[in-house]
Amino acid sequence: MIVLILVLAGITAVIVAARLRAATDANRSTQGAGQGSGQNAGNPAARAVPVIAAPVAERDVPIYLDGLGNVIAYKTVTVKSQVDGRLNEVLFREGQEVRRGEVLAQIDPRPFQIQLNQAEGALARDKALLESGRRNLERFATLREQKLIAQQQVDDQRAAVGQLEGAVRIDEAQIESAKLNLEYARIVSPIDGITGVRQVDPGNLVHATDQNGIVLITQLDPISVIFTLPAENLTKVATEMRNGPLRVDAYSQDGATLLATGKLELIDNQINVNTATMRLKATFPNPKRLLWPNQFVKTRLLLTTRKNAIVVPAPAVQRGPKGLFVYVIKPDQTVEARPVEVALTQGEITVLQSGVKPGEQVVTDGQNQLRPDSKVQPRSADRPTSSPGGAPAPGAPPSSGGAPPAGAGSMPGVSPAPGPGGSRS
């Protein structure tokens, strides 16, 4: 009995020892795995960070200044009567396109024709009197040579002839005035343009002193736009204007549709001190009538074109404690944080003064996961993303594992389309 108890105790001790050894080994394995995982997590260079890259390019970059403006008619004329009378006819339709010299309305011409006839009759009478006075002056001069009359009679007759000559000139002026009034009774368009709402109906009496006139005519082709820019751009715009006309594009209110392209005409002679802005006027051809008076538009002034500029996508430029920088991908697929000097940002691209060279690759997305010398897996913005595990996505070409070629990657165009974008110079 005692022997049996001793045997059972020994077996139990062996089982407990085996279980303790197994638990200890499992605990060690778990700690080793955890330490290995912690070491890998603390070493970001051990894995490649997927990023989007684009090449540094060299190209001509147009520099724009964006503003807001209103369309105004190139010319505006309120057609008024220059004489008093009854309006017999209105010969235009509201909204009609008219040409310079085209008849718009007719005032009753009969009173002016009567004035003309009276002036012509007075002229005929005074001319006859003048002819008689000149003959008498010749007779008096002959008699005076013969000393048959006094010199005073000759002088009086000469004065009478002068008065008759003056009367003839007055009659001629009255004839011209009557003819002019007769012409004014026939109202014509002074400019090419579009008629507005008719202000007076036929049958009404019109006067030269009427305030509203008969109709308002606006010239729409060409047409003008008054827009504003910050006053700090005055020197730049004035300098470029001396080199030649500057192009101005007019866009719809939402900035999506190009309405017309024209040229800058002038800079206003005063700066608005309240808003620190300057007004400019541009003229546009408008054959399709896409621009209309009082229409709100966005404008884009082409100031100049920077030749052979070094450009990168705007998202590539980051701001750090030491200033602006970009992540440049080196040939070994690691990145370098390189400081850059920004000249200006135009739309979706940034022009750099220094820091990078054409053909180098810069990171445009994924910079928040990077540190200097981080390993990266670059791809272009227009290429499909790799599936997990490094395998290419379905339909994607196999990767060689090297850096993308210099021409790979998407680079935004230099002229943001279709509407105007921001600019900073």
Domain boundaries, the chain: 49-60+308-390+400-424, 66-73+221-306, 81-107+186-213, 109-184
Instruction: Give the pLDDT of residue 380.
Output: 81
Instruction: Give the pLDDT of residue 420.
Output: 56
| Host H or E run for residue 292 | none
Q: In what order do the strands lie in the sheet with 85-90?
A: 186-188, 103-107, 85-90, 205-206
Least confident of 226-235, 282-291, 415-424: 415-424
Instruction: Give the pLDDT of residue 2.
Output: 63
What is the C-alpha to C-alpha distance for residues 303 and 61, in angstroms, rounded to an integer? 11
Does the fold of domain 66-73+221-306 match that of domain 49-60+308-390+400-424?
A: no
Is the per-residue pLDDT at 145 higher than 80? yes
Q: Which residues make Cβ contacts (< 8 Å) with residue 167, sequence separation at least 6? A: 126, 129, 130
What CATH class does 109-184 carry? mainly alpha
Least confident of 79-88, 115-124, 374-383: 374-383
If one counts every other C-beta atom within 10 angstroms of the C-beta of residue 186, the result is 15
Instruction: Give the pLDDT of residue 25.
Output: 53
In 3D space, the residue among 295, 281, 152, 303 whose CA is nearest the CA of residue 228 turns out to be: 281
| Dihedral sign for Cα atoms in the order 413, 419, 421, 425 | positive
Residue 199's φ and ψ, nearest 5 degrees, are -95, -20
pLDDT tens-digit profile of 177-219?
999 999 999 999 999 999 999 999 999 999 999 888 999 999 9
Mean pLDDT of the chain: 82
Q: Residue with structure tokens 């230099």?
A: 414
Q: Which residues make Cβ contacts (< 8 Å) with residue 289, sequence separation at least 6? A: 220, 221
If one counts every other C-beta atom within 10 angstroms of the C-beta of residue 27, the result is 10
Is the per-residue pLDDT at 69 higher than 80? yes
- Looking at per-residue confidence, does 171 or 412 come out higher? 171
Q: Residue with structure tokens 């990078």?
A: 356
Instruction: Give the pLDDT of residue 8.
Output: 61
Instruction: Give the pLDDT of residue 328.
Output: 93
Q: List the CATH code of the domain at 49-60+308-390+400-424.
A: 2.40.420.20
What CATH class does 81-107+186-213 carry? mainly beta
Is the per-residue pLDDT at 385 higher than 70? no
Asked whether the beta carbons of 354 and 367 are under 8 A apart, the reply is no
Instruction: Give the pLDDT of residue 26.
Output: 47
Is the per-residue pLDDT at 338 higher than 60? yes
Instruction: Please state the pTM of the whole predicted model.
Output: 0.62
Instruction: Name the band, by pLDDT with cuts 50, 70 and 90, for residue 87.
Output: very high
Q: What percent of the chain has pLDDT over 90?
A: 58
The angle subtended at Cα 185 by Cα 181 and Cα 187, nearest 5°, is 125
Instruction: Give the pLDDT of residue 175.
Output: 95
What is the C-alpha to C-alpha distance for residues 316 and 364, in angstroms, rounded to an integer? 4
Instruction: Give the pLDDT of residue 324.
Output: 92
Is the per-residue pLDDT at 173 higher than 90? yes
Q: What percent of the chain has pLDDT over 70?
A: 79
Is the per-residue pLDDT at 248 higher than 50? yes
Instruction: Give the pLDDT of residue 43.
Output: 52
Return the structure tokens found at 368.
């928040």
Instruction: Name the band, by pLDDT with cuts 50, 70 and 90, for residue 327.
Output: very high
Instruction: Give the pLDDT of residue 315.
Output: 92
Q: Residue with structure tokens 């002026």?
A: 173
**CATH fold label, 66-73+221-306:** Elongation Factor Tu (Ef-tu); domain 3 (2.40.30)
Distances (CA, A) of 22 to 9, 28, 288: 20, 10, 90
Instruction: Give the pLDDT of residue 135.
Output: 92
